[in-house]
Structure 1
């Protein structure tokens, strides 16, 4: 169900000084319709230290807010921060907890790398894809996937071309790990691949032909086995798309929008709950912060559920 505030009603709320409480009510109503579930968010950031020889302690790791063009000589390897968000009618207000997942001796992400994919296996193990960013100061390291288990496990990804990037990881209901592969600048051609969980080798699993003039990002699977992704036009307008196993072309379902505004900035993540509810994660262009939205698959309406300080999200499993 969609909740809308008419212009007249909004004016009445404003006059009464109850705009915030009115919109909060609508948000709470939307939350109440979604069964309680746990969203895991991940953030990466540089560890700053004034001591060049010191190894930062895990419990004092902080995220660097400086821009890439002002990298400090005191910059240490990047740490990964995991945060949990419980949404649904059983949790109001929504609690937020955080924890640092890092290994002081072998950092997960270096300063010249990016976190390009994030998912959760059926047993609850979180998996990240780490992609090198070519710089003039360091040679590119191999693309890899890391399992945040105990002990931690890392596989070098093989089968990628030099200019390709692995992203949008998805653990499927039948136990596979799939992903989207495209150029490192995010442009087509885009391919759907399977990743061998033992060797890291990729293989193509679909003949779906994605549009050459649009970006493709995010993979989500619902309990009925249907796969979803998003297509992003040059102006940022984003559409929800279904990937059929017997379809040569993606099935464009609907354009995404919030409060009648076309969503104009792609998505950071797209996930599907055990009840078949699609959740999108991101922010409109020039707006912050990122937030979790419920998505109506029929008309593309997105309802804001909760702001979330993360880069990508997945759902807790296992």
Structure 2
């Protein structure tokens, strides 16, 4: 009888353990995702943001076992997509590929639109996208120091084409002014294509677009590349030094970036899983090569690290925007 009671006790204990293992909460965690995921991106098809979103969808979807559908919602430097994402249900089925604009837009449009701290759950960084300072070939001198000497020798400021209000190239140029003690006259363009066309034609003196946008003009000797942002040289322009190498460390971290966030309130286990899967995906050699050929350097973070980074960028760029008097729709 005692043996039977022990056996019954063992069975009851195992049943209880198995019931806990297969509780609704555990099943929910194991099940995610059970349907396609929407990945919002705030830019039109064909640009760098769209490339990053579609690459993530291509490589991350199979790992998660679900299709990731990219939705382009362009407008206001990514604000349209961010506002839509912030209002979505925080269940892991609406994600957002965002840029530095997440942390600069509140200073241009107001925090009531999409607050980068309160309205989102950080997931991971995805990639850095360096910018390159390029000049018209008529500007004397071959390097950055000669370019800055020319700036200081002129009675009027050199003109610099920008391709987005408070975009990475615009803010990096603002930092260059401060670090080098020079002055630019900013000229606004709707895209890097027309901006660089005017630099090559001599209508504008310089610009600081992404490396990919400027690569064709540099390789065809129609643009002079002077320096790149970022901690290391771009593999697409290995002979072009970084600003930090040339003694202007203030611009070293002024590159553009792409990261993933979700609506505020996303369960921590889902955020953690997405962050870890993105890390694994971005470490795969074929994925790294795919990004590097597009001028994007893979870079991942944990959810907590991403949260700290967003807060840091929000504070840093807010000070620059406010001090420079940058407004939405103006340069």
Q: TM-score, normalising length from structure 1? A: 0.24
Greater helix share, structure number: 2
